Amino acid sequence: QARVALDMTHFLLEPRALVRDLYLRQYWRRMGWSILRVTAARCVADLQGQIDEIEGLLQDATESR
């Protein structure tokens, strides 16, 4: 069973790019999560592609267990 979390709590409220782009990513990795950043622009440009990518990563995660 794979887990998915959407972390949108304060991402855009954090003015420091280093905190947003590096520290938060490192924090979640230390907690055992794999990170995939999906932006609204990517979803608008290719929503099905984003869904397919997420499904592929979930499939890989469940097969590797």
Question: For 4-53, how does the pLDDT look when each residue is reduced to its tens digit (9 = 90+)?
Answer: 777 766 777 888 888 888 888 898 889 988 888 888 888 899 999 999 99
Residue 2 has pLDDT above 80, yes or no: no
Of the candidates 35, 15, 17, the one whose C-alpha atom is nearest the C-alpha of residue 25 is: 35
**Pairwise pLDDT comparison (61 vs 54), residue with the higher score:** 54
Instruction: Give the position of tokens 């890989």.
Output: 60
Residue 3 lies in a domain: no
Q: What is the total count of domains within the chain?
A: 1
- pLDDT reported for residue 1: 65
What residues make up the domain containing 50?
17-63
Residue 36 lies in a domain: yes
Do 16 and 44 form a contact (C-beta atoms < 8 A)? no
Residue 57 lies in a domain: yes
Residue 44 lies in a domain: yes
- pLDDT reported for residue 28: 85
Residue 9 lies in a domain: no
Kindly report the pTM of this predicted structure.
Answer: 0.64
